[in-house]
Structure 1
Amino acid sequence: MEGFNELIWPLTAWHWVAIGLILLSIEMAVGTFDLLWIAIAAGITAIFAAIAPAGLSDWQGQLIFFAIAATGLLILGRTVFAGMRKLAGEHPTLNKRMDRTVGQRGVVMDDFSGGSGRVKLGDTEWSAETVDESNPAAGTSVIVEDTAGNVLRIKPV
């Protein structure tokens, strides 16, 4: 036991900083968020080791402080910050150009015939069909209700 005590006794704040950085780099590789909290606990323990009075900052006090901090932060991370573990979902219209047109206002370019025609949204002309089989005249404001393939399904405003 005497040899182990001599090995651990010179435990300093720099040891905890190194442990925290090692744990943080492993966390970056695996991405579980569990080691993140333990790395933060090691960083807090480094601060504790640097400022604690001599009676509390021996290696046993540092290990007890680290165990309490790591346990507390791990529980906090699993409960309060549980949302961090969920993967961020894809934006609903990312790379879905047609879906982004729903709800936009446009202008009829030419008179519709048989419920079909052309509509201008922004600087782009689109094939369109009306949802109610009406035939709006050129210049009429319309709103995009839905899409079908590359065809806008519109209704007059």
Structure 2
Amino acid sequence: MTALSWIATYGAWAWVVGGLILLGLELVLPGGVFVWLGGAAVVTGLVSLVYPMDWSLEFVFFAVLALVAIFVWLRFVRPRPKATDNPFLNQRASRFIGQELVLDEPITAGYGRVALGDSVWRVSGPDLAAGTRIRIVGADGAVLKVEAA
């Protein structure tokens, strides 16, 4: 039995059962989409119980309702990233951009080292002597990019 003949045979109840199956799928495959498709199918079935429609009109009603529900979910309901009091969490190197400090080891061949906080960081930049005042201008992974201050 094809899906179209099944829907034509059982009418509104096919939409309700299909919607409940989609809602059950959301429990197994979470993501949010199946909730809205299942809700649209259940509403289509309930509306079809009250106001009998041709199966083609039911499909159009379901499609419009599903698209509107998913659009509303994506636009207004879906969680957005929240502002945080610690924007550099898990981005240690980015925290130090703009700081000025004194170079511990000279930068030779483009690389050197500097003590910052409780760690020793590798720095890259122009060749500079130890004791030179530097400013951190960027980060490339765990390497701080510096320039003379």
Q: Which TM-score applies when normalising by structure 1?
A: 0.47
| Larger Rg over CA atoms | 1
- TM-score, normalised with respect to structure 2: 0.48
